[in-house]
Amino acid sequence: MSVHNEVKRITTSVIRKMKAEGKKISMLTAYDYSMAKIFDEAGMDIILVGDSAANVMAGYDTTLPITLEQMIYHAASVVRAAKRSMVIADLPFGTYQGSAEKALDSAVRMMKESGVQGVKMEGGIEIEQAIRGIVNAGIPVMGHLGLTPQSINQFGNFGLRAGNETEAHKLHEDCLALQTAGCFGIVLEKIPAKLAKTVTDQLLVPTIGIGAGPHCDGQVLVMHDLLGINKGFKPKFLRLYLNLFDEIQGAVSSYINDVKSGSFPNEEEQY
Ligand code: KIV
């Protein structure tokens, strides 16, 4: 951002300060220019270009098929709209697991070709080296633990994570490893609220919860869920702010009726 621009971008240091001052962090997904513009102007702190684009934009059952090129396309569209919000993009499945060099290449491509301010990666201790390499290159990384949709085939379901003592202990260790590796924040998805509070109290970096209770430093939702575009999806953690599926369908049905009846366009709607 230009130093002459009056809109101040949310940065990792602002996010860190928000945790220190007990100010909650708002985060929401977006995948295109028009929605991102609305969210940016509404005052969203972080816009996440999630690989949930695979589900809500492309209609896949899982997030696995989306490619780095497709994520870059979505991320660049969001970046063109966001003047104040920090924009973070998911590194998709297969672009960072198993090789720190490959992970750095993927993160560098995302930064260069989309203009986002950071990347998000799913996993704990097993991707610690990859995170270190990316952070050392000057790229902010947000971690993601708990329900990690890129590993759905390992777990077999989208249920609660870290619900027993062994898994809770592993999640706790993973949080500390991600913080030490340099993550500036960690998404906690679908874990018990009590566990989220314990790790949030212990960590210096903020936690952003989705289905992880009220004690996280911030909250994130998928925009289609919050706006009621994803009609059948009603998990316990979701608060519906609109019923956009019905609203849009109502408007579109009226348009169809008006075209069919010949009442659109009318006298004023022509040249
Ligand atoms: O891809 C995504 O939208 C996410 C959020 C659910 C946190 O990772």
pLDDT at 1: 46
Q: Which pTM does this prediction carry?
A: 0.96
Between 68-79 and 100-114, two packed helices, what is the crossing angle to 10 degrees?
A: 40
Ligand 1 proximity of 187 Cβ (cutoff 6 Å) = yes
Whether 153 has a pLDDT exceeding 60, the answer reads yes
Q: What is the largest CA-CA distance in the chain?
A: 70
- pLDDT single digits (tens) 51-92: 999 999 999 999 999 999 999 999 999 999 999 999 999 999
Q: Is 225 in the pocket of ligand 1 (CB under 6 A)?
A: no
Residues 189-205 have a mean pLDDT of: 98
Residue of 148, 151, 232 lying closest to 186 (CA atoms) = 148
DSSP per-residue codes, 217-248: SEEEE-HHHHTT-STT---TT------HHHHH
Q: How long, in residues, is the chain?
A: 271
In order of 6, 30, 89, 201, 243, the CA distances from 234 in angstroms are: 40, 19, 25, 29, 12
Protein residue whose Cα sits closest to atom 1 of ligand 1: 50
Backbone angles phi, psi at 116, to 5 degrees: -65, 165
User: Would you say the CB of residue 229 lies under 6 angstroms from ligand 1?
Assistant: no
Computed on alpha carbons and rounded to an integer, the radius of gyration of the chain in Å comes to: 20
pLDDT of residue 3: 47
Residue 143 corresponds to which tokens in the numbers above?
A: 């971690």
Residue 54 CB less than 6 A away from ligand 1: no
Confidence label for 6 from pLDDT (cuts 50, 70 and 90): low
Q: Where do the CATH 3.20.20.60 domains begin and end in the chain?
A: 3-240
Could you tell me the distance, in angstroms and rounded to a whole number, from the CA of residue 258 to the centre of ligand 1? 39
Give me the catalytic one of 101, 113, 126, 189.
189
pLDDT digits 0-9 by tens, 92-130: 999 999 999 999 999 999 999 999 999 999 999 999 999
Cα–Cα distance measured from residue 49 to residue 269, given in angstroms and rounded to the nearest whole number: 38
pLDDT at position 226 is 97
- 189 catalytically annotated: yes
Using most ligand atoms within 8 A of CB, pick from 119, 220, 223, 229 the residue to mutate for ligand 1.
220
Supply the pLDDT for residue 189: 98
What is the CATH code for 3-240?
A: 3.20.20.60
